[in-house]
Amino acid sequence: MAAPLTLLLIVAVTIRAVLFRSSLAELISERVEVVSPLNAWKRVVEGLALLDLGVSPYSGDVFHETPLMIYLFHFTVDYAEIVFMVSPYFVDCLSCFLASLDRFRKQKYALESDRYPADCLELLRSPKEMFYIPLKVAMFYLLNPFTILSCVAKSTCGLNNAIIALFIFCTLKGSALLSGILLALATYQSIYPLTLFAPALLFFLQRLYIPVNLRRSSFWCFTLQYAFIYVGSLVVITGLSFFLLGSWDFIPSVYGFIFSVPDLTPNIGLFWYFFAEMFEHFRLFFICVFQINVFFYTIPLSIKLKEHPVFLIFMQIAIISIFKSYPTVGDVALYMAFLPAWSHLYRFLRNIFLVSCVLLACSALFPVLWHLWIYAGSANSNFYYAITLLFNFGQILLVSDYFYAYLRREHHLTHGLYLKKKDGTEATLVLK
Amino acid sequence: MQWQSTDVEVNRSDGTKNSETFTPAPAKDQFQEELVIRPLHSGDIYASFQFRTLWDTDFLQEGQKKVSHYRLFPKSLGQVLSKFSVQELHISFTQGFWRTMQWGQPFIPSPPGAELWVWFHHTVSDVDGNWKELTNVLSGIFCASLNFIDMTNTVQPSASFKPLGLGNATDHRFLRYATLPREIVCTENLTPWKKLLPCGSKAGLAVLMKSEKLFHSSFHSQAVHIRPICQASFFSKSWELRQTLNVVFDHYTSGQGKKEWSLFKMFSRTLTEACPLASSSKVYVDITDNPEGELFELSPATPLLSQAVVLGDRRTYSVYDLTRAETFGQLRSFNLLLRWKGDSGDMLRPLLHAERYVAGFGLQTGEIHTVIYNNHPYRAFPVLLMDSVPWYLQLYIHTLTVTSKSRDNKPSYIHYQPAKDRHRPHLLEMLIQLPPHSMTEVTVQFERALLKWTEYTPDPNHGFYVGSSVISALVPSMVAMSTNFTQDQPLFSSFVPVKEESSYFVRVYTEPLLVNLPTPDFSMPYNVICLTCTVVAVGYGSFYNLLTRTFQVDEPSPPLAKRLANFIRRIRGVPLLA
């Protein structure tokens, strides 16, 4: 286990180092699919240059990073490449922890094999299968071209992903304090991880054997504790940011920017062209609709998946990556890293071939159509927009397919794998 | 003809209780007009009209009755000055670009399009509100679309535009500068401009300003400059209104290829009389390059000569005084004639010259290059470069490089105000030291923004204009400049106040830039909304299905015949089929 992992790490570092030193680095850091106005490295350097000139970085509309990022990069701007190479390895910690998940599962296996119908044994994962999951997760993340591109472009998305991965790690480890603090940090960086509060809370409740019952005081006791840790850390971090530059300018510049979407630079998301072609009268309404769209899946999903918080975390991260205002391929890479953890769902996936073809084709077509629009002048913005639509559609299909597969496996675990109709023939399962 | 002071006193002496002696302020105003003709080396001819009205009054003084008796000073402008508490106003409308390398330095430089800069009085509390109203009022007065000036193209330069008249120059909060590079100048703008003159276009030099000839030229610029100046003879502040019109006639199009110019050929008119309200009315012809008459022949001959130091060079002028009757000769008409005899040599290179262009390809990024030439053989001098770039070109100041003679040249002063989207433009001011006889290149990278579809002009593929850069400098002068301000100086040499003898002030404007932005498809708003909402709805629909439905074994429903049979059986009370 350690040897393949080390080999993987070496390969990943080598690829990134080679790309950093080549002329492709310059090209990649300008690509709109990889960087967005929120996390481009060019803008970080610009913000630091403005600070050197004596002008607040938030006085213009170029810099949209949080003050703690300024603080971090003020000291490490010359070693930026190292910082960005190290951060994906935090996601590795997550995979290592998934390895310990299997220990948890092993005990569960023994218990559950008695509970489930006999024919479901093949649905349960054997410890042998689960042994290779951490390696697969690490491979999926480190060798994912999206991650490599994001890292070489020095997009701060990599750092955000690292924080989220650390948060998941601490949650799965069971440390509520660290988990709250890291979630506050992730929310501080970009507002959307706020929705991860619910799955983290559900995980802790499950772990502490507190039933999710609104009438029980133990539930409220723990919820309030966790919320207090979270809100408290958020307040402390925001206060620290205020004292760094001495003004609240960063709030409209960072959070106001994320919510009101004033910059319509093309990216792989749905927002830019929609709001470029929006009638002025309806702009506020549709901004609200699109932003609520990210947040409102939390409650229904939490209710449905309250016994499966880990899968809920995956779903939430996927929804954030698809529907956020300035997505990049780095965000896509984060939830894709989780997919090997659900490799046992493969038999229930319905559209996996279609989805992978769509995603591969779109990834190939993005740079082509961008070039045709911006440089060759022979296509127009509609071409790029169409591929954006298709890419997001493919992602939605992927996520909903995994959700379907997960629910179906749960159904089979409780009702048996080979179902029969009333007349004894093989049954088909439908959603009704 | 001298100016007359009209002391009108109305005495209401009667037994009424409110007996105020109504004494309007004595109108001590004066009007001068002059025309300077300078033949250029390329065969073109440069004509510069200047009309100056001096008025010893104070628009801005409180506690005194508002000025209401206007004689030579136009009432529309006077009311504007007092209502908006304007300290100094400079507005120019230009068509064409001044070619410094071919024509030398202009007397009064101006950028292509419209330019307006105003110093407000320090008592003004809401400068932005006054600015907005002022631009709209001026837009009406000059029939120009100055109402397009708003906060997205107004800047407050901190060092480049100091007051040219009296005034405290410390607080640049009261200064506003805006330029509209897209503005076109035509007869509609010339007519109200001519109306501001005391004689209108009926007498004096203004009769020459006929639009069909004036706009058939390479360069046309009309300007109004209002400022308070100190008059030595009166020891008080008086207001000066200068209206200038600079025009360059092209040798090939207007001159029909012949190197022969006359007032009639240039303006299709001749002069018949001076303006009766003018205290001085003169025509100057630059004969510095023609001391012995070998380059061109000037007729009618005149014995009057004048020498002036203008733009660091001592020039000699033949003077025609239109207030004297003998200038017009027997025919009562004055037509100047300039006929070239020999080939003109090379022009002296102007000491300061600048160019600007956009580099790069594609619609994503680009680079603005400004090239400044210092042609002085041995002196280095600093220049102040001011750039105002619209917000939709996002400048990256960390990519700013200044190189002179292929070495890095760090500016000693940088004032940078980044743009706020849809709110204010970028302002970059730098003090750069130019080494002697060198070329300095200033480069900065930018990214082009995608705008909302309503923010594009009706012709979006034409491109977006970026206003000219302004380069202001005190250029070392070869000839000592005179620092005394006398009334007898010709107007064209007394516009810019000279503070020291060894240098003269020069302002150079670069070309405006035309930049293309990526455009969305304008025919698609409804389609885009539908398609994007479809994708969001697909997501919503899939999640809704998976959240609200459960898995069930699919029992096929029995065929219709069986269902009907079962229904009938149920009514009959008989057992159902399987």
User: d(Cα A29, Cα A40) in Å, to the nearest integer?
Assistant: 8
- How confident is the model at residue A93, as a pLDDT? 61
More confident residue, A127 or A259: A259
Q: Do the Cβ atoms of A300 and B363 come within 8 Å?
A: no
More confident residue, A81 or A222: A222
Pairing between β-strand B381-389 and β-strand B393-404 as defined by DSSP bridges: unpaired
**B320: enclosing H helix or E strand:** strand B313-321
Beta-carbon contacts below 8 Å between A and B: 161
Name the percent of chain A lying above pLDDT 70: 90
The residue out of B465, B496, B515 marking a domain boundary is: B515
Is residue B452's pLDDT more than 50? yes
Cα separation of the two ends of chain A: 44
Pairing between β-strand B29-39 and β-strand B280-286 as defined by DSSP bridges: parallel
**Is residue B3 domain-resident?**
no
3 state SS of B145: coil
Is residue A167's pLDDT more than 80? yes
**Is residue B399 domain-resident?**
yes
Report the predicted TM-score, pTM, of the whole model to 2 decimal places. Answer: 0.88
Is B490 within 8 Å of B317 (Cβ atoms)? Answer: yes
- How confident is the model at residue A415, as a pLDDT? 82
Chain B residue with the nearest C-alpha to that of A299: B547
Whether residues B268 and B320 fall in one domain = yes
Best of A42, A273, A311, A323 to disrupt the B interface (most B CBs within 10 Å) is A273
As a whole number, mean pLDDT of residues B450-464 equals: 93
Whether residues B388 and B319 fall in one domain = no
- How confident is the model at residue A97, as a pLDDT? 61
Using CA atoms, how far residue A237 sits from A185, A234, B308, in Å, is 7, 5, 69
Is residue B14's pLDDT more than 50? no
Work out the angle between the directed axes of helices A88-115 and A157-173 (0-180°, nearest 10).
Answer: 30
- For B3, phi then psi, to 5°, come to -75, 150
State the average pLDDT for chain A.
88
Minimal C-alpha gap between A15 and chain B (Å): 28
Minimal C-alpha gap between A1 and chain B (Å): 37
- How confident is the model at residue B300, as a pLDDT? 83
Whether residues B242 and B384 fall in one domain = no
pLDDT range class, residue A107, cuts 50, 70, 90: low
Whether residues B372 and B330 fall in one domain = no
Q: Do the Cβ atoms of B520 and A262 come within 8 Å?
A: no
Token code pair at residue A94: 């997550």
As a whole number, mean pLDDT of residues B186-195 equals: 93
pLDDT range class, residue A106, cuts 50, 70, 90: low
Q: Do the Cβ atoms of A301 and B422 come within 8 Å?
A: no
- How confident is the model at residue B308, as a pLDDT? 83
Whether residues B387 and B457 fall in one domain = yes
Whether residues B202 and B324 fall in one domain = yes
State the average pLDDT for chain B.
87
Minimal C-alpha gap between A98 and chain B (Å): 26
Token code pair at residue B56: 């010893």
User: d(Cα A121, Cα B100) in Å, to the nearest integer?
Assistant: 89
**Which region among A86-100, A344-358, B46-60 has the lowest average model confidence (pLDDT)?**
A86-100
More confident residue, A113 or A368: A368
- How confident is the model at residue B462, as a pLDDT? 94
**Is residue B69 domain-resident?**
yes
As a whole number, mean pLDDT of residues B490-504 equals: 80
- C-alpha dihedral sign at A130, A132, A138, A142: negative
User: d(Cα B351, Cα B575) in Å, to the nearest integer?
Assistant: 113
Which segments of B65-219 does DSSP mark as H helices, in order?
75-84, 100-103, 127-141, 187-195, 211-214
Whether residues B509 and B447 fall in one domain = yes
**Is residue B258 domain-resident?**
yes
What is the length of chain B? 578
- How confident is the model at residue B5, as a pLDDT? 43
Q: Please tell me which of the candidates A270, A422, A428 has its beta carbon nearest to residue B535.
A: A270
**How many domains in chain B?**
2
Whether residues B298 and B204 fall in one domain = yes
Locus of tokens 């003809």: B1
User: d(Cα B140, Cα B251) in Å, to the nearest integer?
Assistant: 35
Q: Do the Cβ atoms of A60 and B362 come within 8 Å?
A: no
Whether residues B283 and B396 fall in one domain = no
As a whole number, mean pLDDT of residues B504-520 equals: 94
**Is residue B511 domain-resident?**
yes
Q: In terms of Cα–Cα distance, which of A145, A150, A94, A98 is closest to A328?
A: A150
Whether residues B239 and B376 fall in one domain = no
Is A182 within 8 Å of A159 (Cβ atoms)? Answer: no
- For B391, phi then psi, to 5°, come to -65, -25
pLDDT range class, residue A418, cuts 50, 70, 90: confident
Is residue B9's pLDDT more than 90? no
Whether residues B281 and B356 fall in one domain = no
Amino acid of residue B309: V
pLDDT digits (tens, 9 = 90+) for B283-293: 999 888 877 77
Instruction: Domain of residue B417: give its range.
Output: 352-515
Is residue A353's pLDDT more than 90? yes
The residue out of B320, B340, B360 marking a domain boundary is: B340
Q: Do the Cβ atoms of B451 and A264 come within 8 Å?
A: yes
- How confident is the model at residue B188, as a pLDDT? 93
pLDDT digits (tens, 9 = 90+) for B65-104: 567 788 889 999 999 998 999 999 999 999 999 999 889 8
Is residue A111's pLDDT more than 60? no
Whether residues B90 and B203 fall in one domain = yes
Minimal C-alpha gap between A253 and chain B (Å): 10
**Is residue B567 domain-resident?**
no
Chain B residue with the nearest C-alpha to that of A323: B536
3 state SS of A67: helix
The residue out of B515, B539, B556 marking a domain boundary is: B515
Q: Do the Cβ atoms of B554 and A430 come within 8 Å?
A: yes
- C-alpha dihedral sign at A206, A211, A214, A217: negative
- How confident is the model at residue B287, as a pLDDT? 87
Minimal C-alpha gap between B304 and chain A (Å): 57
Q: What is the CATH number of the domain that holds B419?
A: 2.60.40.740
pLDDT digits (tens, 9 = 90+) for B269-324: 888 888 899 999 999 998 888 777 777 888 888 888 888 888 878 888 889 888 88
Q: Do the Cβ atoms of A429 and B532 come within 8 Å?
A: no
As a whole number, mean pLDDT of residues A261-272 equals: 94
Name the percent of chain A lying above pLDDT 90: 57
**How many CA atoms are closer than 13 Å to the CA of B564, on its beta-carbon side?**
3
User: d(Cα A287, Cα A195) in Å, to the nearest integer?
Assistant: 18
Token code pair at residue B20: 């105020």
**A98: enclosing H helix or E strand:** helix A88-115
- Name chain B contacts of A297, Cβ cutoff 8 Å: 543
**Is residue B298 domain-resident?**
yes
pLDDT range class, residue B496, cuts 50, 70, 90: confident
**Is residue B523 domain-resident?**
no
Is A264 within 8 Å of B451 (Cβ atoms)? Answer: yes
Locus of tokens 């058939």: B216
As a whole number, mean pLDDT of residues B362-368 equals: 95
- How confident is the model at residue A95, as a pLDDT? 61
- How confident is the model at residue B15, as a pLDDT? 43
Is B441 within 8 Å of B369 (Cβ atoms)? Answer: yes
